[in-house]
Structure 1
Amino acid sequence: MRILVTGADGFAGRHLCALLRAAGDEVLEAHGPRAEGVNSHALNFDITDEAAVRAAMERARPEGIIHLAAFSSVARSHGNPTRVFAVNAMGTVNLLTAARESASEARVLLISSGEVYGPVHEGARATEEQPLAALSPFATSKMAAETAGRQFHRSYGLRVVVARPFNHLGEGQDAIFAVPSFAAQLRAIQKSKGEPVLRTGNLDSIRDFSHVGDVVAAYRLLLTAGEPGQTYNICSGEGRTIRSVLEEMLVLSGVSARIEQDPARMRPSEIPYSVGTPDKLRALGWEPKRTVTEALREVLGPTGL
């Protein structure tokens, strides 16, 4: 299949493109405008530029589209909601409009987020049918993008599927996120470039973690087998505290450090518990094949750090 991947130069995007190529797909990478020159074969455009998106889609004419390009930091979204909505909501509308005009038969997978559920009742697991309760500009913009996708499906017959991935980990994730931030601090401590203090946000929140390899495998499955107009969680169905993840990283790295909570790393609105159910995805044949421990080893590096 000829597949256009937006956000191909991002964390999940790099893993996804490698998986698609290994499966024999023809991959058209779409990078942001700041990536110009990094990959001469990539399409470089700003997802918020309607004309540029249309031109890229007309050039690509894909059979499948996986839309990953996004403002992805929940924490930073509180400080720049206008940009978040421009990229995540209007960027998606630009993509859908271009697809309708130049690739109307393509299957389209929109990547949303488990953040759209907001706080899940402790002990429960979010299903795709439950009401949404976004607590951040990031999550609200993803809700808007989902709504646009469903409207384009209902009104114009565009074959849109929505994926809601929960937290995923692995090699190459930006240090603005918690787990790679922990790894970066552990490296600095090990190399004696920092005091043996590791600064964190809220460690008591419970999250549903998966290996990025399993998440991108779900993306390919949903692109080919997901039912248009439907939404699918991508998650493990199991919750663990961020504290337990950090403690495991300390053991794996062999580094000792004092843990201090940093007010600057706290979110304005915190979700104490977020766990989903992957039953709908599993019904398509998806099963996780990698563990969180494997992902943490990859984050830390081949030698532990």
Structure 2
Amino acid sequence: MRVLVTGADGFVGRHACAALRAAGDEVVEVHGPRGEGISSTALHFDIADEAKVKAAVSEVKPDSVLHLAGFSSVAKSHQNPARVFAVNTMGVVHLLTALRESAPKARVLLVGSGEVYGPVAEGTLAKEGHPHVPLSPYAASKSAGELAGEQFFRSYGMEVILARPFNHLGAGQDPTFVVPSFAAQIRAIALGTVDPILRTGNLDAIRDFSHVKDVVDAYRLLLLKGEAGQAYNVGSGEGRTIRSLLEEMLQLSGVQARIELDPARLRPSDIPSLVADTGKLRALGWAPRLTVADALRDVLGPRVGSN
């Protein structure tokens, strides 16, 4: 299939494009404004620019769209809510409007976030029917983007599928995210360039972690078999504290360090526990192939974690 991948120059986008090509798909990459020069064959535009989105979709006329472009930081979303909604919500509207005009039969996977559920009682899995209780501009903008997708499905019969990924890990993730931040600090400690002190935010939060390669496999499956108008959680279905990940990373690396709370790394609002019910996705035939330990080794890289 001919797949238009927005956000192709991002962490997940790079893994997704590789997986789609390995499966034999034709991939047309869309890079954001900061992706200029990375690829001479990719399209470059801001998903919040309606005119450029329309022009690109009219040119490509894709069979399928994997929509990954977006503002991805929960923590930073509190600093610029207007930009977050312009990208994560209006970007969806621009894309679907353009597809309705130029490629109305394309199957579209809108990648949202499990953050839309907000707080879920510890020991309870978030199901797709769970109400949305967003605690950040990021989560609210993703929820609003989903509403737009549902409206285009209901009103115009477009093949829109919703993915709600939970936390995913792997090589190439921005160091502003928690696990790559730990990895950068661990590498620096291992090299002896800093004191053996690891600075962290809240380590008691419980999250659902998956390897990014399993996540992108789920996305391709949803493009092929997902039911239009439906939402699918993408995760492991297992909860772990951030602290347990950090302890495993230290064990894998052989590094010893003192852990210190850094108030600057705490979010204005945080969710104590968020774990996915993945029954709908698994019913389509998906199951994870890789482990969290595999992902942590990939994040740590070849210089660390060879024990």
User: Common fold, TM-score beyond 0.5?
Assistant: yes
Asked if the contact 2:21/2:27 (under 8 Å) is kept, the reply is: yes
Looking at structure 2, the residues matched to 208 and 41 of structure 1 have their Cα atoms a distance apart, in angstroms, of 35
Please name the residue that 1:205 is paired with: 205
After superposition, what is the alpha-carbon deviation per residue over 1:62-107, rounded to whole angstroms, capped at 9, x for unaligned?
A: 0000000010000000111011001000011111111111111100
Looking at structure 1, the residues matched to 102 and 45 of structure 2 have their Cα atoms a distance apart, in angstroms, of 17
Looking at structure 1, the residues matched to 262 and 230 of structure 2 have their Cα atoms a distance apart, in angstroms, of 40
Match of 1:209, SS state, is: strand
Match of 1:164, SS state, is: strand
Please name the residue that 1:48 is paired with: 48
Task: Report the TM-score when normalising by structure 2.
Answer: 0.98
The within-5 A match list for 1:2-151 is: 2-151=2-151
Looking at structure 2, the residues matched to 218 and 35 of structure 1 have their Cα atoms a distance apart, in angstroms, of 25
The one-letter amino acid of 1:292's match is: V
Match of 2:281, SS state, is: helix
Looking at structure 2, the residues matched to 126 and 36 of structure 1 have their Cα atoms a distance apart, in angstroms, of 38
Looking at structure 1, the residues matched to 34 and 122 of structure 2 have their Cα atoms a distance apart, in angstroms, of 41
Please name the residue that 1:273 is paired with: 273
After superposition, what is the alpha-carbon deviation per residue over 1:267-287, rounded to whole angstroms, capped at 9, x for unaligned?
A: 000100000110000000001
The one-letter amino acid of 1:118's match is: G
Q: C-alpha root-mean-square deviation of aligned residues, in Å?
A: 0.7
The one-letter amino acid of 2:102's match is: S
Please name the residue that 1:170 is paired with: 170
Looking at structure 2, the residues matched to 298 and 225 of structure 1 have their Cα atoms a distance apart, in angstroms, of 29
The one-letter amino acid of 1:71's match is: F
Please name the residue that 2:299 is paired with: 299
Please name the residue that 1:193 is paired with: 193
Please name the residue that 2:260 is paired with: 260
Match of 1:4, SS state, is: strand
* Structure 2 segments unaligned to the other structure (5+ residues): none
Match of 1:134, SS state, is: coil
Asked if the contact 2:70/2:87 (under 8 Å) is kept, the reply is: yes
Query: How far is the alpha carbon of 1:38 from its aligned partner?
Result: 1.4
Looking at structure 1, the residues matched to 146 and 12 of structure 2 have their Cα atoms a distance apart, in angstroms, of 19
Looking at structure 2, the residues matched to 99 and 193 of structure 1 have their Cα atoms a distance apart, in angstroms, of 51
**May I ask how many residue pairs the two structures share in their alignment?**
305
Match of 1:202, SS state, is: coil
Q: 2:238 matched to 1:248? A: no
Match of 1:256, SS state, is: coil
Asked if the contact 2:187/2:304 (under 8 Å) is kept, the reply is: no
Moved more, 85-94 or 187-196: 187-196
Please name the residue that 1:158 is paired with: 158
Match of 1:199, SS state, is: strand
The one-letter amino acid of 1:300's match is: L
Looking at structure 2, the residues matched to 178 and 214 of structure 1 have their Cα atoms a distance apart, in angstroms, of 20
* Structure 1 segments unaligned to the other structure (5+ residues): none
After superposition, what is the alpha-carbon deviation per residue over 1:96-134, rounded to whole angstroms, capped at 9, x for unaligned?
A: 111111111100000000000001111100000111100
The one-letter amino acid of 1:53's match is: V
Moved more, 272-281 or 183-192: 183-192
Asked if the contact 2:66/2:109 (under 8 Å) is kept, the reply is: yes
The one-letter amino acid of 2:265's match is: R
After superposition, what is the alpha-carbon deviation per residue over 1:225-248, rounded to whole angstroms, capped at 9, x for unaligned?
A: 000000000011110100000000
